[in-house]
Amino acid sequence: MSDYKEDVRAIKEGLEAIRREIRDLRQEVRDATVWIELTTGCPRTPIRHNLEDVVAAAFRLGLQNPNIRAEHVRLRQEIVDTDGVIFRAGRRKEVDIIATDGELLVFEVKSAPKVGEVEYFADKVELVRLQNPDKQVRGVLVALGVGEEIRRACRAHGLMLLPDRRSEQS
């Protein structure tokens, strides 16, 4: 009788694992749909998402991190360089941030960034890093079409570039 109960328990656990996997796959499909609609500018259905939902979906896919949620996204956050360490003293800047478990992911979306824009973004990331010494701060530049010059600039400033087309080609 105990073998029967163990078998039933094992089957139930297996079914629960399958349910979790299906739920995760459904979320990946929803995220991919949002990403495709966003990048093509052609939503199949009227946009029912707020911008934070779209950003979270895109970064779940781009960073392969299923734990990023809309409530982690903070758009247009003002930062001030009060001491003039990076920018002129008192200068205000805006950044977009995804905040999760002790990490701040500062991101910027550019269609066709120039090297100067990469450097400016890297400066904003550095200011966030200096103002949050207790957190891991990473910078992510999202750009759909970039050349080697922009890739080099991102590497030189420690920025992640999404999507990373080189990893797709290998």
Say which residue the tokens 């990023």 belong to.
68
Distance between CA atoms of residues 70 and 90, nearest Å: 30
Reported confidence tier of residue 168, pLDDT bands at 50, 70, 90: very low
The residues, ordered by sequence, that sit 6+ positions from 78 with a Cβ below 8 Å of its Cβ are: 92, 93, 94
Residue-wise pLDDT for 91-147, tens only, equals 999 999 999 988 999 999 888 899 999 999 999 999 999 999 999 999 999 887 789
Where helices occur in the chain by DSSP H, the ranges are 2-40, 51-62, 115-131, 148-156, 165-169
Where helices occur in 41-164 by DSSP H, the ranges are 51-62, 115-131, 148-156
Q: Where are the domains of the chain?
A: 1-48, 50-169
Among candidate residues 128, 119, 130, the one with its CA nearest the CA of residue 159: 119
User: Residue 129 to residues 23, 138, 144: CA-CA distances in angstroms?
Assistant: 35, 8, 26
pLDDT at 5 over 80: yes
- Residue 166 pLDDT: 55
Structurally, at CATH architecture level, domain 50-169 sits in 3-Layer(aba) Sandwich (3.40)
Q: Which run of H or of E encompasses 140?
A: strand 136-143
User: Which residue did the predictor score with more confidence, 56 or 165?
Assistant: 56
Distance between CA atoms of residues 5 and 69, nearest Å: 38
Residue-wise pLDDT for 15-68, tens only, equals 999 999 998 888 888 877 776 765 565 655 554 557 788 788 888 888 888 889
Length of the chain: 170
Report phi then psi at 15, rounded to 5: -65, -40
Say which residue the tokens 């080609």 belong to.
169
What is the number of alpha carbons within 13 Å of residue 143 lying toward its C-beta?
A: 22
Q: Two tokens at 24?
A: 């995760």
